[in-house]
Amino acid sequence: MRTLTEDQVEVGLALPGLSIELTPTVVVATALATMDFTPVHHDVEGARAQGSKDIFLNILTTMGLVQRYVTDWTGPEAVVKRIDLKLGVPAYAGDRLSFDGTIVSHDSGVFTAEVRGKVSLGDHATGKVVFTLPTA
């Protein structure tokens, strides 16, 4: 897999979309992988008892998926410096999480991408990912 270089990315460039099916297995496995044993992430009845309609992604999974979204596009040599993220609606099991993004700034080798992860209820996550790329 190749990595994009600084000269291949410009402000205004749209990142390719990414869509992830949030099966119950994905929701549970990612919660367990991040050692989040809170019932709302793996126990449907426990989630409903807390007022949710189903189990849903945890914040660590959402952060990881946002990073994956950007680095799947940039390639393995990109360095993520910061992720500033705001959570919106829950991402429930059985839904689809779709990402889109745009490069909004480039200053002294540092890029910023605005990203959005959407589910059927609306925006699940919105924010910025700051990263660097190798030079040509």
The domain in which residue 105 lies consists of 6-132
Model pLDDT for residues 34-51, shown as the tens digit of each residue: 999 999 999 999 999 999
pLDDT at 46: 94
The answer to whether the beta carbons of residues 94 and 113 sit under 8 Å apart is no
Q: Which residues have CB under 8 Å from 110's CB, separation 6+?
A: 81, 130, 131, 132
1 belongs to a structural domain: no
Please give the sequence-ordered ranges of beta strands (E in DSSP) within the chain, or none if there are none: 14-21, 79-87, 96-107, 110-119, 122-132
- Tell me how many domains the chain contains: 1
**Residue at token pair 């994009």:** 4
* Radius of gyration over every alpha carbon of the chain, rounded to an integer in angstroms: 16
pTM of the predicted structure, to 2 decimals: 0.94
The pLDDT tens digits for 46-68 are 999 999 999 999 999 999 999 99
Residue 32: CATH number of its domain:
3.10.129.10
